[in-house]
Amino acid sequence: MLLSPRVHAPKKGKHDRALRGGGTRTGAACVEAAVLAPLLCLFFVIGVDFARVFTYQLTIDNCARNGALFGSNLRSYQETGWVQPCNDIVNATLADGATLNPPLTADQVTVTKGTGTDGNPNVTVTISYQFNTVTQLPGVSSTINLKAQVSMRVAP
């Protein structure tokens, strides 16, 4: 039976460990994470603010469309004006706006009647809402004015 000589791996010293990335660099990852964590948190909060603005704008658009749809289905429209008060259109507009923080109020809603380019009566609902951001960055406004306007023809 042939016996092969035992081959021993070379002994590893502290210098070999430093070349492989272990040992002396264990604190570098912690320092890098500590430096980058505030920046990553800032990007996250800015992303959340952008998502909130997008959601609020969609809600305001839906509110304006709901109010205009309610106003366009009024069968009580006459040449002299509305038989039902416009307050009902405002209430239809405010229904979805209760989910906003702060909620949509009647003074932010404007309802106007008019005549379209085709000569038919129409109703226009306009909403102006002031959105406040979470982040307070220097040089950037912390309030954004959101606006939605929907105009629909009144059904005959």
Give one DSSP letter per residue of 28-60, joined into a string: HHHHHHHHHHHHHHHHHHHHHHHHHHHHHHHHH
Phi, psi of 56 (to 5 degrees): -65, -40
- Report the pLDDT value the prediction gives residue 25, as an integer from 0 to 100: 65
Q: Is the pTM higher than 0.85?
A: no
Tell me which amino acid residue 78 is: Q
Identify whether the C-beta of residue 94 lies closer than 8 Å to the C-beta of residue 104: yes
Report the distance separating Cα 150 and Cα 114, nearest Å: 13
Written as tens digits, the pLDDT of the chain (156 aa) is 566 666 666 666 555 555 555 556 668 888 888 999 999 998 998 899 889 999 999 999 999 999 998 888 865 454 445 555 455 788 888 988 989 989 999 999 999 988 888 888 899 999 999 999 888 878 778 899 999 999 999 887
Report the distance separating Cα 128 and Cα 113, nearest Å: 18
Q: Is the dihedral of CA 70, 76, 82, 88 positive or negative?
A: negative
What 3-state class would DSSP assign to 139?
Answer: coil
- Report the pLDDT value the prediction gives residue 85, as an integer from 0 to 100: 46
Domain residue spans in the chain? 37-153
Report the distance separating Cα 93 and Cα 61, nearest Å: 10
Q: Cα-atom radius of gyration of the chain, to the nearest Å?
A: 32
- Report the pLDDT value the prediction gives residue 27, as an integer from 0 to 100: 82
